């Protein structure tokens, strides 16, 4: 494929190298002359100096034969205009991908014709959240063919269930709290047990209700 990348910051530079390694033809456009000099020392003729918002430069970059255009500058308005101009002035079906620096702009970019948006902020948030969530709930063993499982959930000071009695909790369907590990003690979780921070809860639940359980605790 022929891919044009606008913006030679860390994202644009690394993307260029990855795509080149995979055998694609890539042109990287960088506006800042000093940064351009740095990039072209390593990437040679694959780097063009100029403003990707200018149609004349997009033309020099070969925009009329590009399969994909990726706009990854640090300015959302530039990324939007680059994508829109590519479709309006060259080939309508060129796939455009824009980096969105302000996550609030994601949906508007799609409405305005950008094919795909990538929000760095959102990607990182999602990864961190997933990491935190997965650390909070640990499957210990599965029963039968794996539809039921025993899981362990760590409670923190921020957990919703802390300070409540077991009977006051709303639990997902097909879920039973079994025991709490508190210090070196293990308690059977009957209705009148108060949950406290740093308890490790052992529960029986289904694969589908695992996420809900973690949220409710």
Cα gap 195→217, rounded to integer Å: 10
Interacting residues with another protein (CB under 8 A) = 53-56, 75-78, 80-81, 84-85, 88-89, 102, 104-105, 108, 111-112
Nearest to 52 by CA among 43, 44, 61, 64: 61
**Which of 104/190 has CB closer to another protein?**
104
**Which of 59/190 has CB closer to another protein?**
59
Pairing type for strands 47-49 and 25-30 reads: parallel
Q: How far is the CB of 205 from another protein (least distance, A)?
A: 40
Q: How far is the CB of 12 from another protein (least distance, A)?
A: 17
Which residues make Cβ contacts (< 8 Å) with residue 183, sequence separation at least 6? none
Instruction: Confirm if 99 and 79 have CB atoms less than 8 A apart.
Output: yes
**Which of 31/214 has CB closer to another protein?**
31
Q: How far is the CB of 4 from another protein (least distance, A)?
A: 17
Q: How far is the CB of 44 from another protein (least distance, A)?
A: 29
Cα gap 129→125, rounded to integer Å: 6
């Amino acid at each position: 494929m022929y891919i044009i990348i606008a913006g030679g910051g860390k994202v644009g530079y690394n993307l260029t190298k990855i795509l080149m390694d995979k055998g694609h033809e890539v042109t990287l456009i960088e506006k800042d002359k000093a940064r351009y000099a740095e990039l072209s020392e390593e990437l040679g003729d694959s780097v063009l100096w100029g403003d990707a918002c200018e149609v004349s430069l997009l033309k020099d970059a070969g925009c009329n034969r590009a399969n994909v255009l990726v706009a990854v500058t640090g300015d959302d308005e530039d990324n939007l205009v680059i994508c829109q101009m590519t479709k309006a002035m060259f080939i309508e079906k060129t796939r455009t991908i824009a980096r969105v620096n302000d996550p609030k702009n994601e949906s508007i970019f799609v409405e305005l014709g950008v094919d795909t948006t990538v929000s760095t902020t959102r990607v990182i948030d999602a990864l961190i959240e997933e990491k935190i969530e997965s650390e909070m709930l640990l499957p210990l063993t599965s029963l039968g063919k794996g539809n039921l499982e025993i899981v362990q959930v760590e409670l923190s000071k921020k957990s919703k269930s802390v300070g409540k009695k077991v009977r006051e909790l709303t639990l997902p369907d097909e879920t039973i709290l079994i025991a709490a590990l508190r210090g070196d003690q293990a308690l059977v979780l009957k209705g009148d047990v108060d949950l406290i921070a740093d308890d490790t809860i052992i529960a029986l639940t289904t694969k589908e209700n695992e996420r809900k359980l973690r949220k409710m605790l």
